Amino acid sequence: MAPMGMTMTEKILARGAGRESVRPGDLLLAKVDFAMGHDLTIPPGRLTREFSRDMGIKWYFEVGQGGICHTVLPENGLVLPGELVVGADSHSCTYGALNNFATGIGSTDLACVLALGELWFRVPETLKFVYHNRLSEWVEAKDLILYVIGQIGVDGARSKAMEHTGEALRYIDMEARLTMTNMAIEAGAKNGIMEFDEVTKEYLEGRAKRPYKPVTSDPDAEYEKVFEFDASKVELGVAKPMSPDNYAPLSEVAGTRLDQVFIGSCTNSRITDLRRAAAVLENRKVAPGIRLIITPSSHQVAIQAEKEGLIRTFLAAGAAWTTATCGACLGGHMGVLGEGEVCLSTTNRNFPGRMGHPKAQVYLSNPAVAAASAVTGVITHPREVLAKMPVGIA
Residue-range domain boundaries for the chain = 8-233, 237-386
* DSSP assignment string, 147-211: HHHHHH-TTTTTTSEEEEESGGGGGS-HHHHHHHHHGGGGGT-SEEEE---HHHHHHHTTT-SS-
Cis bond leading into 36, ω under 30°?
no
The predicted pLDDT at position 389 comes to 79
| Nearest C-alpha neighbor of 142 from the set 172, 167, 170, 166 | 172
Strands across the sheet with 247-249, in order?
247-249, 237-239, 361-364, 342-345, 260-263, 291-294, 320-321
To the question of domain 237-386 being in CATH 3.30.499.10, the answer is yes
Q: Which residues of the chain have pLDDT under 50?
A: 394
The predicted pLDDT at position 392 comes to 59
Domains 8-233 and 237-386 share a fold: yes
Produce one character per residue of 209-237: b if its CB has 16 or more CB atoms within 10 Å, e if not.
eeebebbebeeebbbeeebebebeebebb
The predicted pLDDT at position 68 comes to 98
Angle between helices 271-281 and 299-307 in degrees, nearest 10: 40
Amino acid at 125: E
How many whole angstroms separate alpha carbon 318 and alpha carbon 312? Answer: 10
| Nearest C-alpha neighbor of 64 from the set 271, 298, 273 | 298
How many whole angstroms separate alpha carbon 118 and alpha carbon 287? Answer: 52
Produce one character per residue of 87-124: b if its CB has 16 or more CB atoms within 10 Å, e if not.
bbbbbbbbbbbbbbbbbbbeeeebebbeeeebbebebb
- Bridge partner list, 356: 337
The predicted pLDDT at position 394 comes to 42
Map residue 286 onto helix, strand or coil: coil
Produce one character per residue of 288-299: b if its CB has 16 or more CB atoms within 10 Å, e if not.
eebbbbbbbbbb
The predicted pLDDT at position 393 comes to 52
Element of type H or E holding 374: helix 367-376
Neighbour tally for 30: CB within 10 Å: 22
Burial of 326 (0-12, 13-18, 19+ CB in 10 A): buried
How many whole angstroms separate alpha carbon 357 and alpha carbon 353? Answer: 5
The predicted pLDDT at position 4 comes to 84
| Nearest C-alpha neighbor of 242 from the set 353, 151, 149 | 353
The percentage of residues in the chain with a pLDDT greater than 70, rounded to a whole number, is 98
228-279: pLDDT as tens digits: 999 999 999 999 999 999 999 999 999 999 999 999 999 999 999 999 999 9
Q: What's the whole-model pTM score? A: 0.96
Label the pairing between strands 126-132 and 225-230: parallel
Max intra-chain CA distance, the chain: 76
Topology at the third CATH level for domain 8-233: Aconitase; domain 3 (3.30.499)
How many whole angstroms separate alpha carbon 232 and alpha carbon 253? Answer: 21
